[in-house]
């Protein structure tokens, strides 16, 4: 009878330790998934302003020409044409 109680107590301790380890694993896995999701979220990076329309956009989506940023090739071309026109008018 005494041996049965000891076995039950050992089983209970092992069962409790297993549950505790399992809950710690689940919490670790949840934190890891949360961290991965935060890492995957696009934060937009460094923002730049289009020289033509002055709209802000992420640097990786912008076009760069002559140290100027543009949101599209159309705005880049318009700005360069206007700048060329202004230079021709001054001469």
pLDDT tens digits, one per residue of 2-48: 899 999 999 999 999 999 999 999 999 999 998 887 776 656 578 89
For residue 59, the model assigns a pLDDT of 87
Q: How many CA atoms lie within 13 A of 26 on its CB side?
A: 6
* Contact partners, residue 69, CB within 8 Å, separation at least 6: 48, 49, 50, 51, 59, 62, 63
Confidence of residue 83 (pLDDT cuts 50, 70, 90): confident
β-pair partners for 48: 57
pTM given for the model: 0.50
Q: How far apart are CA 1 and CA 81, in angstroms?
A: 98
* Contact partners, residue 47, CB within 8 Å, separation at least 6: 56, 57, 58, 59
What domain count does the chain have?
1
- Domain limits at 83? 47-90
Residue 85 scores a pLDDT above 90: no
């Amino acid at each position: 009878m005494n041996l049965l109680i000891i076995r039950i107590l050992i089983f209970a301790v092992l069962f409790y330790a297993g549950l505790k380890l399992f809950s710690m694993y689940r919490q670790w896995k949840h934190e890891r998934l949360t961290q991965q999701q935060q890492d995957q979220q696009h934060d937009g990076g460094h923002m730049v302003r289009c020289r033509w329309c002055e709209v802000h956009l992420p640097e990786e989506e912008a076009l760069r020409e002559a140290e100027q940023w543009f949101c599209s090739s159309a705005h880049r071309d318009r700005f360069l044409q206007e700048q060329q026109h202004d230079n021709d008018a001054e001469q």
